[in-house]
Amino acid sequence: MKKILSGNEAVARGVYEASVVFASAYPGTPSTEILQNISTYKEIYSEWAPNEKVALETAIGASIAGGRSFAAMKHVGLNVAADPLFTFAYTGVTGGCVVVTADEPGMHSSQNEQDNRNYAKFAKIPMLEPSNSQESKDMIVDAYALSELYDSVVLFRMTTRVCHSKSLVEFKDRKEVGIIPYVKKFDKYVAVPAIGRSLRHKVEERTNKLKEYSEHSKWNYVVNNHAEIGVISSGVSFEYANEVFGDTVNYLKLGFTYPLPEKLIADFCDNNKTIYIIEENDPYIEDFARSLGKKVFGKDLFPYTGEMTPDVIKRAVLGQNFESLVPNPELFVGRPPTFCTGCPHRGFFYELGKKRKKIIVSGDIGCYSLAVGEPYNMMDSLICMGASFSAGHGMQKIMDMKSDDDRRVVTVMGDSTFFHTGINSLINTVYNNGNTINVILDNRITGMTGQQDNPGTGFNLSHESSVIMDIEKIVRALGIQHVRRVNPNNLQEVKETINWALELETTSVIITDWPCKLKKTYNDDDMVKYDKMWQTKDMVLEDKCVGCKACLRSGCASLVFNVEKNKTEINSNTCVGCDVCKQICPYDAIVKDDRYV
């Protein structure tokens, strides 16, 4: 049976076919849908972890206990999981284990563009790189065989286009391998220095065997079109190169990319007059080819950043692209992503914005990063998951050293980010007598990646009820005395709370508590707590609106300013009655729409 699957769906299918029994991940674009799809296979136990390190560690435990295990994360997630990865690279596996890293050339939804192929070399573990969905599935199945044969975790490097593009996939059945009986292996898994030293030699022996495998791996092959030009490529770049050159060049397609096949690459270079190395992000293959003394075209010709799409290759090699229409810049303006109508972050950032001159805002990764744009312009920094509290603490310590600048640092992060690594950062602030104002924007879900449950929501990946971790109780348990929970849609309450926190000279925490507009699953308690949520609509009384545009500072996409009438209008198709604009209007021109009360 052939079905059209995204790379992420294909990986999930591969994990199923490979008889994996344990899978974990933390959501992160473009990898999120892998675990979501895995969770639809009842044969695989799967769970969301609070962060990538935990996800990998649970997968390591599952492997040690004898089950085939799996973890997935976006590229920056592997930084978080790097600690266990590097030692797991030494110990090897019992049940096979594969880790997906989903890289983002072009940074569609990421803060950087790191090339995680370097991690395979760094950690000395085998790596596979699929080009399309069929390979995503087939390589995963093979990755488990390799993992067990060579006694190593396998890194599986995907990129946005491989994850999110769809192509046809031929299915196979799941081949049960069962769970390997547990035997204590002290010399293998207890990585104290003495054992670590002996494992280090094993790693070297393994790498030498893998070098041999790489030369004959079915994933590394030459396509001989009897041409004089040779293209070496991996991942989706291979598809792009095929689009551009078709059968006019020879190809060396590399799918098993750590360790790279030395002889295969050297011979291919020697057998072609001109060599182009087409790869996204770093000159990973190129540097290797150059280290063999080969003359190649690589990043001297192709851009060092972004995707190597066919148009980019054509521009670099052929110097021309398809003839295309020229867009008229007068016919469109920018359309950056923005907070949804009804987003609970809006009311909070509206009020915080009024304090702009008195504060520095330390931001974090999540939907609230959208407050960087109009009309909020709120963030002073944004580094990585969980950094807002800790980077903010460092900033505040320096600001406190300045006698002529009394600005306070306000740190913001969401509920899922708090559970990810924010807790550790907050511990640091409390422990070191910090005095930042720490805001946890609790929208009761992991929002940006598309509504995944987390330890605060009361549900797990299997849709079972689980303990709801109460953020307020956690924060108080850390020893923070000054904690307030607010409804972010109640502007008066938000304003008073921000003023309260600014008056304090010690660490405080503000928890904004209102669900994401896109949240789908609720607890019984939620239905009582968030009364009449999304059930009403607001409207503008045309005779009262004076066109002052104050409401537009809320940044709501349901408010449209009618220039001809000089009045604001509310789109009744999309308004969900959060009342933020209603509270801002100085002329009481916005009211509840009676038809929807």
Partner 1 sequence: MSKSIKVVGVGGQGTILLAKILTTVLVNAGYDVKMSEIHGMSQRGGSVSSEIRFGDKVNSPVIEKGDASILVSLEQMEAARHIDYLNKDGILIVNNYKIHSMVTLNGKVKYPNNIIDELSKQVKTYVVDGTKQAIELGFDKVMNIIILGALAKALGISDLKWEDAIKENVKPKFLELNLKAFRLGLSQVN
Nearest to 88 by CA among 59, 68, 65: 59
Assess 337 for contact with partner 1 (CB under 8 A): yes
CB closer to partner 1, 120 vs 578: 578
Q: Which CA distances in Å does 405 have to 354, 362, 380?
A: 18, 17, 16
Assess 339 for contact with partner 1 (CB under 8 A): yes
Assess 309 for contact with partner 1 (CB under 8 A): yes
CB closer to partner 1, 107 vs 527: 107
Choosing from 41, 82, 122, 164, the residue that interacts with partner 1 (CB under 8 A) is 164
| The two structure tokens encoding residue 582 | 């209603």
Q: How far is the CB of 279 from partner 1 (least distance, A)?
A: 15
Assess 109 for contact with partner 1 (CB under 8 A): yes
The one segment of 18-26, 75-83, 173-181, 306-314 that binds partner 1 by CB under 8 A: 306-314
Q: How far is the CB of 60 from partner 1 (least distance, A)?
A: 28
Instruction: For the chain, report the end-to-end CA distance as a whole number of angstroms.
Output: 51
| 375 upstream amide cis, omega within 30 of 0 | yes
Choosing from 40, 43, 83, 108, the residue that interacts with partner 1 (CB under 8 A) is 108
Listed in sequence order, the residues at least 6 apart from 6 whose beta carbon sits closer than 8 Å to its beta carbon are 33, 133, 163, 164, 165, 166
Q: How far is the CB of 443 from partner 1 (least distance, A)?
A: 13
CA 390 to chain centre: 20
Assess 310 for contact with partner 1 (CB under 8 A): yes
CA 87 to chain centre: 24
Assess 402 for contact with partner 1 (CB under 8 A): no
CB closer to partner 1, 27 vs 458: 27
Give the max Cα distance, the chain. Answer: 82
CB closer to partner 1, 92 vs 515: 515
Whether the CB-CB separation of 104 and 157 falls below 8 Å is answered with no
CB closer to partner 1, 2 vs 42: 2
The one segment of 89-97, 165-173, 414-422, 536-544 that binds partner 1 by CB under 8 A: 165-173
CB closer to partner 1, 161 vs 444: 161
Assess 330 for contact with partner 1 (CB under 8 A): yes
Assess 586 for contact with partner 1 (CB under 8 A): no
Cα–Cα distance, 141 to 157 (Å, whole number): 14
Choosing from 180, 372, 557, 591, the residue that interacts with partner 1 (CB under 8 A) is 557
Assess 353 for contact with partner 1 (CB under 8 A): no
Whether the CB-CB separation of 106 and 306 falls below 8 Å is answered with yes
The one segment of 119-127, 134-142, 210-218, 232-240 that binds partner 1 by CB under 8 A: 232-240
Side-chain-side CA neighbours of residue 61 (13 Å): 8
Cα–Cα distance, 9 to 36 (Å, whole number): 9
Assess 111 for contact with partner 1 (CB under 8 A): no
Choosing from 105, 455, 555, 577, the residue that interacts with partner 1 (CB under 8 A) is 555
Whether the CB-CB separation of 538 and 575 falls below 8 Å is answered with yes
Residues 237 to 296 in contact with partner 1, rule: CB under 8 A: 239-240, 242-243
Q: How far is the CB of 505 from partner 1 (least distance, A)?
A: 37
- Amino acid found at 422: G
What binding mask, one character per residue, do residues 535-554 give for partner 1 by CB under 8 A, x or -?
Answer: --------------x--x--
Assess 236 for contact with partner 1 (CB under 8 A): yes
Listed in sequence order, the residues at least 6 apart from 84 whose beta carbon sits closer than 8 Å to its beta carbon are 53, 56, 57, 60
Q: Which residues of 365-378 are buried (b: 16+ CB within 10 A; e: fewer)?
A: bbbbbbbebeebeb
Residue 151, SS3 per DSSP = coil
Cα–Cα distance, 300 to 278 (Å, whole number): 11
CB closer to partner 1, 323 vs 524: 323
Assess 333 for contact with partner 1 (CB under 8 A): yes
Task: Give the CA dihedral 160, 166, 169, 175, nearest 10 degrees.
Answer: 50
Whether the CB-CB separation of 474 and 442 falls below 8 Å is answered with no
CB closer to partner 1, 255 vs 555: 555
Assess 465 for contact with partner 1 (CB under 8 A): no
Assess 565 for contact with partner 1 (CB under 8 A): no
Q: Which residues of 265-294 are buried (b: 16+ CB within 10 A; e: fewer)?
A: beebbeebeebbbbbbbbbbbbebbeeeeb
Choosing from 15, 559, 570, 578, the residue that interacts with partner 1 (CB under 8 A) is 559
CB closer to partner 1, 403 vs 573: 573
Q: Which CA distances in Å does 178 have to 13, 139, 551?
A: 18, 20, 61
Residues binding partner 1: what is the number (CB under 8 A)?
59
Q: Name the site residues for partner 1 (rule: CB under 8 A).
A: 4, 29-30, 108-109, 132, 160-161, 164-168, 236, 239-240, 242-243, 307, 309-311, 314, 321-328, 330-340, 367, 370, 373-375, 448-450, 549, 552, 555, 557, 559-561, 563, 573
